Amino acid sequence: MKKSLLALAILSTAAHADEGMWMPQQLPQVAKQLKAAGLKLDPAALTKLTEFPMGAIVSLGGCSASFVSPQGLVATNHHCVYGSVAHNSTPERNLLANGFLAHNLAEELPAAPGTRIWVTKAVTEVSQQVITPAVAKLSGKARSDAIEKNQKAIQAACEKDAGHRCTVSSYYGGLEFYLIKQLEIRDVRLVHAPPEGVGKFGGDTDNWMWPRHTGDYGFYRAYVSKDGKAADFSKDNVPYVPQHFLKLAKEGVKEGDFIMVLGYPGRTNRHRLPSEVAFTFDWNYPAYVQQSAESLAIIADTTKDNKDTALKYASQVASINNYYKNRQGMLDSYAGSDMLQRKTAEHEALKQWINADAKRKAEYAADIDAVEKLIAQRDAEIKRDYYLGSSKPRLLNTARVLYRLANENTKPDAERKSGYQVRDVPRIKASVDALVRNYDEKVDKALVMNSLVKYAAQPASQRNAAFDTVAGVKDGMSKADLQAALDKLYAGSKLGDANERKAWLERKPADFKASDDSFIQAAVALYEPDLKSEAEEEELGGKLQQAYANYMKAKIAYMHSKGQAVYPDANSTLRVTFGKIAGRDPGADGTTWKAFTTVQGVVAKATGKGEFNAPAAQLTAIKAKEYGKYADPVLKTVPVNYLATLDITGGNSGSAALNSKGEWIGLAFDGTLDSIISDWDFNKKMTRDIQVDLRYILWNMKHVDHADNLLKEMGAE
């Protein structure tokens, strides 16, 4: 490409300053908007990933984070370290309830297995290397295979730089591809997390709500070998020394101030077709909400008499609750909107624009028609298989991964399936290790049974014949018969034992075929049918990539012709969003939302139990007005959370909020319930995200948890 469409799409007019998850390399194109919004840094500096401040921003893989000291201290959200806190908790030492603070390096705890810190080092467009002229002529599975082969080759060449993880990511529905090079820090340790009564104050009741009073912060530390290389956990490792780390803001923030967030937003869907909107909101999200509610009830019932099991599932419960409320909030917003009508009108206008010109019609019309048909096929398959995945026991899925790994290990690395190459083995091993503290057979069986009943009720033509055979599913089975079949499947396996699971990581395909373990046998029986299903998915995927990419090319050209900006949907890669700190009038409840909440709200909400169980030491400090230097001069008290007009989504959790000078002013952690629909349909007037104020973090660390060692390390003392 002479010039990427990504760049061309924003040459004429930028979107509102508050809208847009901008790639760092795009920022010079919106430099005027950044400066007008109040940025005092040179916008060009934000394109340099190894310079300040971008060099301080990291990913946790699902959450964002930042280096905040020269000793590799990493700040993120409490809910982002929650899994590691749960992993290290026991009924006798309940770190979730009581919090955790390492007073020195020796007291820091290993994070949950598989925890990583990813430091982005370079982003390079590789579209022409992925979609070569030869690939452009292919379709279906042949196209999918060729794209994967090229991606693996590019990644392998990049990863010759030891200690780095390289990923080729897709943008604009497969229209463009970028190589993301990241330093992979594998030794991650838990440093500090406040009690749940701070880090999760308000729980699911307040989740996605305003006003909010949640201290959603926590700290990890990155460790490397003594020679500064990425390494597995070892007592001999030393704290990583980042090239850059964030400095604490010298002044507190106020309403109207410039704010930007740097992080790794997960997924947005603003470029989706009307049919995708309809399927998502009319079927997919309602099904998800229903299943989530059922799963939460099942976990609650099966763990109510066992504190240790409840701790094992605490992180999963938190995750389900989060998305359950998120999806229901989106459904509520969608129900009262004209989004589908507007999306449909926009799509029809696009087609009219294409058909109005013979050249455009020749280039785009066939793929616009094709993508609609392919999406309909994909959605029908998603609906058909909805209960299949959750009807498979976790240990069966583990056995399937282990057997696939054993088979892929017989091939040269370049020929192995993505996800099963040498680079992927540590992740697989970590997921196997993690089962020790996040799996219980009784709970798993109850969850599986809930889905299995619904799956088995489908006509045989809609079920998976291979799975029916291994699970013993037949037409007309009663619930009792299904339960007996499921009990038999679980009873015949030894994979519930951690050592047994680890042993299978090293075994050969022949060992799997000779095993009499029920889950291993099932994995072997499912292997060939799984490969066939995978091939069918890749056939559809290759056709979709081809058609969808051309649809996006048409949409970009159409929007560009109208002088409109086009930024890529979020895809878990590094982005920058900017706006201002602002309340909202009216709020979702018809009242005016002030921009800040304060510690007085904590006292007002505190009940001493459940979701509002603020620590006694915290309440005492608030009532005594022991604010130290962290009181806001206008509010005359310590601010807790604040609203801003930023464009964020899942994955931005833990993102550093910075002021106009690039100084650290807080952590993004949530959005308001009626604005999360912006994942699909951005509304500048309504959208607000929520940050935990840095002053509240520091105040709580100083006056409640007495984390003086960390405050000194960050330069707060």
Nearest to 143 by CA among 130, 156, 155: 130
In angstroms, the CA 67 to CA 245 distance is: 5
Is residue 410 within 8 A of residue 509, CB to CB? The reply is: yes
Nearest to 63 by CA among 214, 191, 167, 219: 219
Question: In Å, how far are 148, 251, 400, 467, 529 from 407, measured between CA atoms?
Answer: 19, 58, 11, 20, 15
* Bridge pairing between strands 187-193 and 575-580: unpaired
12: Cα within 13 Å, side-chain hemisphere: 13
At 605, list the tokens.
């909400």
In angstroms, the CA 523 to CA 567 distance is: 42
Is residue 69 within 8 A of residue 713, CB to CB? The reply is: yes
Helix axes 140-158, 518-561, angle to 10 degrees: 90
User: Which amino acid is located at 280 in the chain?
Assistant: T
At 347, list the tokens.
């799509």
Active site residues: 79, 216, 653
For 668, residues 6+ apart whose C-beta sits below 8 A from its C-beta are: 64, 261, 263, 646, 648, 652, 653, 654, 655, 657, 689, 690, 691
Work out the burial of residue 68: count CB atoms within 10 Å of its CB; fewer than 13 is exposed, 13-18 middle, 19 or more buried: buried
DSSP, collapsed to helix, strand or coil, labels residue 345 as: helix
- How many whole angstroms from its chain centre is CA 236? 32
In angstroms, the CA 554 to CA 228 distance is: 47
Sign of CA dihedral 55, 61, 64, 70: negative
In angstroms, the CA 324 to CA 289 distance is: 6
At 523, list the tokens.
């994995």
Is residue 658 within 8 A of residue 250, CB to CB? The reply is: no
At 538, list the tokens.
């890749």
Is residue 77 within 8 A of residue 218, CB to CB? The reply is: yes
Question: In Å, how far are 87, 226, 300, 440, 533 from 312, measured between CA atoms?
Answer: 7, 34, 12, 8, 33
What one-character-per-residue DSSP string does 579-599 give?
Answer: EEB--BSS-TTSSPBPSEEEH
Question: In Å, how far are 206, 227, 399, 474 from 470, measured between CA atoms?
Answer: 43, 50, 13, 11
In angstroms, the CA 652 to CA 192 distance is: 20
- How many whole angstroms from its chain centre is CA 39? 28
